[in-house]
């Protein structure tokens, strides 16, 4: 049995079209399946929790969960999976940025992805990240789930500050919807990034790594915990990230004028920016961030609340993938 969670709105409605291809394969091969179409923020999380909490005989395991959508839909599913050890995930990326799939050398031919999922076997295990809100504000993002958890799983990256503010604006952006329709959705993040950078608040922060290393920034711009190489539609913030080592690449920018960050942004798209003064990089399993003022926090581009105290930790090879 395959349980399919499909975002029909992904890529301006093409999710339904690609689902029809997968459904045809199921019918052609006589494979049992259920399909569930998401209906709004948080729905994929609730579906994944329900489907992976089902009582199963040993012969019916692992639970095979197929996700069709963008990075946001996949993130919601990750936050709903009740037991990663007994769940196999198949993913068909149909979002505007697809940062998760970018590192995995997924073929552009959707039929090839579908055939691999139909085999129903584990082909790789990847790290996941866990965000813990040690505090949170009552301020909610413009597009958020009604139920805000103190912890969140992320499969690509999590960030606080500038990159999260960009995500928060992009989630409710009419510009993004328009650009998606003409195949230029990735431009949304670049356009919003410039605007957010110019109006960013001057906020001090303290960073503490799991080995006791402490870093203070009088003005931080962003801090990101990167499981994968890319975020924000292709910005290569962590060019040497290892998806299976049980650690994430901590990248931050601070104590620099906005003009220097404007210079760093296009270079980060190619993964060539660590040499710029004010850019920091560490590899760690766990880190705690404390900021002078509450800032937006994202997990895989999904933003709910602001916080001035968070902890990130890496969960080694937690996610089991069929493709």
Q: Which of 156, 164, 248, 243 is nearest to 209 (CA)?
A: 248
The helix (run of H) or strand (run of E) holding residue 206 is strand 205-209
Q: Which two tokens stand for residue 287?
A: 């880190």
CATH class of 2-127: alpha beta
Query: What angle, rounded to 10 degrees, do the helices at 162-171 and 187-198 form?
Result: 130
- Cα 201 from Cα 135, distance rounded (Å): 20
DSSP state of 231: B
Q: How far apart are CA 74 and CA 156, in angstroms?
A: 10
Cα–Cα distance list, 269 to 100, 189, 252, 285, 306 (Å):
16, 12, 15, 25, 26
Predicted local confidence at residue 178, as pLDDT: 43
What is the C-alpha to C-alpha distance for residues 148 and 140, in angstroms, rounded to an integer? 9
Report the alpha-carbon distance of residue 166 to residue 261 in Å, rounded: 14
Tell me whether strands 151-154 and 124-133 are parallel, antiparallel or unpaired. antiparallel
Digitized pLDDT (tens) for each residue of the chain, 323 residues in all? 999 999 987 766 677 788 888 899 999 999 999 999 998 888 999 999 999 998 877 767 899 999 999 898 999 999 999 999 999 999 999 877 789 999 898 888 888 889 999 999 999 999 999 999 999 987 776 655 667 789 999 999 999 998 888 877 776 655 445 444 434 445 555 566 666 666 677 899 999 999 999 999 999 999 999 999 998 778 899 999 999 999 999 999 999 887 888 888 889 889 999 999 999 999 999 999 999 999 999 999 888 899 999 999 999 999 999 99
Distance CA 100, CA 106 (A): 10
Query: Which among 243, 54, 62, 49 has a CA at the least distance from the CA of 154?
Result: 243
Record the pTM: 0.89
Closest listed residue to residue 252, CA positions, set 300, 218, 285:
218
The CA-atom distances, in angstroms, between 86 and each of 92, 212, 316 are: 20, 35, 16
Looking at the chain, the domain(s) classified CATH 3.40.50.10330 span 2-127
Q: Please tell me the class of the 129-316 domain.
A: mainly beta
CB-based contacts of 277: which residues, under 8 Å, 6+ apart?
A: 256, 260
């Amino acid at each position: 049995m395959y349980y399919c969670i499909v975002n029909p709105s992904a890529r301006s409605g093409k999710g339904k079209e690609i689902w029809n291809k997968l459904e045809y394969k199921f019918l052609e091969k006589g494979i049992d399946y259920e399909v569930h179409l998401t209906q709004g923020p948080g729905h994929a999380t609730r579906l994944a929790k329900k489907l992976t909490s089902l009582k199963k005989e040993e012969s019916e395991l692992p639970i095979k969960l197929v996700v069709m959508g963008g990075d946001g839909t996949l993130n919601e599913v990750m936050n709903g999976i009740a037991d990663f050890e007994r769940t196999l995930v198949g993913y068909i990326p149909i979002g505007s940025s697809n940062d998760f799939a970018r590192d995995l050398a997924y073929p552009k031919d959707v039929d090839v992805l579908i055939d691999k999922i139909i085999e129903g076997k584990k082909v790789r295990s990847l790290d996941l990240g866990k965000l813990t809100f040690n505090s949170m504000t009552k301020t909610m993002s413009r597009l958020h789930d009604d139920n805000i958890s103190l912890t969140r799983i992320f499969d690509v990256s999590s960030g606080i500050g500038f990159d999260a503010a960009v995500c928060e604006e992009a989630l409710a952006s009419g510009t993004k919807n328009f650009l998606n329709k003409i195949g230029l959705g990735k431009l949304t993040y670049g356009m919003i990034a410039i605007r957010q950078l110019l109006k960013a608040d001057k906020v001090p922060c303290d960073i503490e790594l799991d080995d006791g290393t402490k870093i203070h920034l009088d003005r931080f711009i962003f801090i990101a915990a990167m499981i994968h190489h890319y975020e924000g539609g292709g910005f290569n913030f962590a060019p040497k990230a290892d998806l299976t080592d049980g650690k994430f690449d901590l990248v931050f920018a601070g104590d620099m004028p906005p003009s220097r960050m404007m210079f760093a942004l296009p270079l980060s798209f190619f993964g060539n920016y660590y040499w710029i003064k004010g850019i920091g990089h560490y590899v760690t399993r766990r880190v705690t961030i404390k900021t002078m003022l509450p800032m937006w926090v994202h997990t895989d581009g999904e933003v709910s609340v602001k916080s001035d105290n968070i902890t990130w930790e890496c969960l080694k090879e937690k996610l089991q993938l069929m493709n």
